Amino acid sequence: MSIEIKNVTKYFGNFRAIDDISLKVETGELVALLGPSGSGKTTLLRIIAGLETADCGSILFSGEDAREKKTKDRNVGFVFQHYALFRHMTVYDNIAFGLRVKPAKIRPSEEKIRTKVRELLKLIQLEWVEKRYPWQLSGGQRQRVALARALAVEPKVLLLDEPFGSLDAQVRKELRQWLRRFHDDLNITSLFVTHDQEEALEVANRIVVMNKGKIEQVGTPDQVYHNPVNSFVLNFLGNVNLFHLRVEDGKVYMGNKEIQLPGVEQHNIKAAKLYIRPHQFEVKRLSSGTSSLKAVVKFVNPAGATVKLDLKTESGDSIQAEISQEEFTALKLQKNDQVYVNPKEITFYDFDI
């Protein structure tokens, strides 16, 4: 089932939580709504589920207006941030809930319900917790039970609100992979909310970056990471170094130092912001021309796949750089060493004209 959101706006009092958003999610997609807290992503998810009503605009499920439908008739599976498992029911009863509350005419028999619940428990690999209560489970187990409960009614759309938000890093990584496989197997349309860019980049087919109730960019993980449309998206998807440049008589200055920046002359500009990701720096012992920045190593973190460096330039700017372990070994870098940094590529300019 495809979901189409058309010009949806939602106010909470005077606060505009969603500001004229339009978005189309195709059948079978796994889409991440990514943004900082307060960006309206959870509100948008709740509007789709019918837990909130939009002040204006419409939601179409497979081209059909969903505003007429109540939440209970929308056939969406919703997984809550804090799982919202029924605390007085066993895991079995939690998962069976959606089937048991169906109107008598279409309610499956207890026997069929049992088969379905067992099947789901097997799917989430938790057959042995059937008789336990939610509070007897770990966070990751609860999350999986919440997912099974949502899937029991065979929804066409699965909505997940910060599904891994309150889990520890290890479990989170596992569940991400698992959700990915799960989504592919079930052939369901899924939307999940997250503030974790790594999670969005890893799991989603498509990412919707949101800020202050608006959509900043929609695209594949590759697009939003490598071709951000503005500095917000760039900042939100991974670390980035920001440099303020001055332009005088066609020459570009960083602090007092003139640097080479091809292409700037064409624009009649006075100042610019320059964004460079940590891995886009080249760090050398010797200067390699005028665009090299002289810097001092302030901190070295060699743990991990890459080595993270905190550098300080002559003009006092801090730079975060990432180099490979091989480069690091070859350079024999230590704290307070002097180095030269060259940008290998520049991610993004932001001009003030």
Partner 1 sequence: MAGGLPHLKIGSAVNRSSRPGHLRTEPGPVKWILIGIAFLYLGILLILPLVCILTNAFNKGIQMYWQAISEPDALSAIRLTLLTALMAVPLNMIFGIAASWAIAKFDFRGKNFLLTLIDVPLSVSPVISGLIFVLIFGAQGALGPWLIKHGIKIIFAPPAIILTTIFVTFPMVARELIPIMKAQGNDEEEAAITLGASGFKMFMLVTLPNIKWGLLYGVILCNARAMGEFGAVSVVSGHIRGLTNTLPLHIEILYNDYRFTAAFAVASLLAFLAIVTLIAKSLVESGIDREIQLTQKDNGEKSG
Rule CB under 8 A: is residue 101 a binding residue for partner 1? yes
CB of 44 to partner 1, least distance (A): 16
CB atoms within 10 A of CB 144: 26
Rule CB under 8 A: is residue 84 a binding residue for partner 1? yes
Rule CB under 8 A: is residue 171 a binding residue for partner 1? no
Q: Which stretch binds partner 1 (CB under 8 A): 59-67, 76-84, 193-201, 235-243?
A: 76-84
Q: Which of 76, 215, 233, 245 binds partner 1 (CB under 8 A)?
A: 76
The residue ranges of DSSP E strands in the chain, in sequence order, are 3-12, 15-25, 30-34, 56-61, 64-65, 76-79, 157-161, 189-194, 206-211, 214-219, 241-248, 251-254, 257-259, 271-276, 281-284, 293-301, 306-313, 318-324, 338-343, 348-352
Rule CB under 8 A: is residue 131 a binding residue for partner 1? no
Nearer to partner 1, 145 or 309 (CB): 145
DSSP letters for 194-242: ES-HHHHHHH-SEEEEEETTEEEEEE-HHHHHHS-SSHHHHHHSS--EE
Residues 221-280 that bind partner 1 (CB under 8 A): none
Rule CB under 8 A: is residue 166 a binding residue for partner 1? yes
Q: Which stretch binds partner 1 (CB under 8 A): 85-93, 119-127, 191-199, 235-243?
A: 85-93
Q: Which of 67, 72, 270, 344 binds partner 1 (CB under 8 A)?
A: 72
Q: Which of 14, 63, 87, 185 binds partner 1 (CB under 8 A)?
A: 87
Please answer whether residues 93 and 76 qualify as being in contact, where contact means their C-beta atoms are separated by less than 8 angstroms: no
Q: Which of 80, 178, 253, 349 binds partner 1 (CB under 8 A)?
A: 80
Residues 132-161 that bind partner 1 (CB under 8 A): 134-135, 139, 142, 149-150, 152-153
Rule CB under 8 A: is residue 169 a binding residue for partner 1? no
CB atoms within 10 A of CB 296: 14
Nearer to partner 1, 128 or 135 (CB): 135
Please answer whether residues 99 and 152 qualify as being in contact, where contact means their C-beta atoms are separated by less than 8 angstroms: yes
CB of 150 to partner 1, least distance (A): 7
Rule CB under 8 A: is residue 51 a binding residue for partner 1? yes
Please answer whether residues 118 and 127 qualify as being in contact, where contact means their C-beta atoms are separated by less than 8 angstroms: yes
Q: Which of 49, 207, 240, 295 binds partner 1 (CB under 8 A)?
A: 49
Q: Which of 3, 18, 66, 78 binds partner 1 (CB under 8 A)?
A: 78
Residue 48 corresponds to which tokens in the numbers above? Answer: 């789709």
* Residue from 155, 95, 90 nearest 119 by CA: 95
Q: Which of 37, 68, 88, 104 binds partner 1 (CB under 8 A)?
A: 88
Q: What does DSSP assign to residue 63?
A: T
Determine the Cα–Cα distance for residues 323 and 297; give it in Å rounded to an integer.
13
What does the buried/exposed string (b/e) look like for 42-79 if buried means 16 or more CB atoms within 10 Å of the residue's CB? bbbbbbbbbbbebeebebebeeeebeeeeeeebebbbb
Residues in contact with partner 1, total (CB under 8 A)?
Answer: 28
Rule CB under 8 A: is residue 56 a binding residue for partner 1? no
Nearer to partner 1, 149 or 308 (CB): 149
Residues 311-330 that bind partner 1 (CB under 8 A): none
**Strands 15-25, 3-12: parallel, antiparallel or unpaired by DSSP?**
antiparallel
Q: What does DSSP assign to residue 134?
A: G
Task: Summarize as ranges the residues that interact with partner 1 (CB under 8 A).
Answer: 49, 51, 71-73, 76-78, 80, 82, 84-88, 97-98, 101-102, 134-135, 139, 142, 149-150, 152-153, 166
